[in-house]
Amino acid sequence: MSATVQHHPQNQEFTTTKSGHSAELAYSVPAEGIMDFTHTFVDEALRGQGVGQQLAHAGLAYARQHQLRVRTSCSFMRQFVAAHAEYSSLLE
């Protein structure tokens, strides 16, 4: 079962918790209309379970819904977008 991803705009992050372990996808807004995904962290106990991908989908869906252009300073997000062509149109 997948965990629910929460968006915390005041902290500029998407988070999830599963079995007491947490994961986050942080972003910044360096300019109007731009969302830069800067860092992804997945607790070691959650790695290999698709939690990072779940965060990535949530963050990119938010960007699409709000018509934001995306930067991928985070290497995980850069690789994720490269592997998922459906998000390439969001890139700045």
Domains of the chain plus CATH, in order, are: 6-90 (3.40.630.30)
For 59-89, how does the pLDDT look when each residue is reduced to its tens digit (9 = 90+)?
999 999 999 999 999 999 999 999 999 999 9
For range 1-18, the mean pLDDT: 91
Indicate the burial class of 16 (C-beta count within 10 angstroms; 0-12, 13-18, 19 or more).
Answer: buried
On the question of pLDDT at 40 being above 50, the answer is yes
**pLDDT for the residue numbered 2:** 65
Contact between residue 51 and residue 42 where contact means Cβ atoms under 8 Å apart: yes
Q: How confident is the model at residue 3 (pLDDT cuts 50, 70, 90)?
A: confident
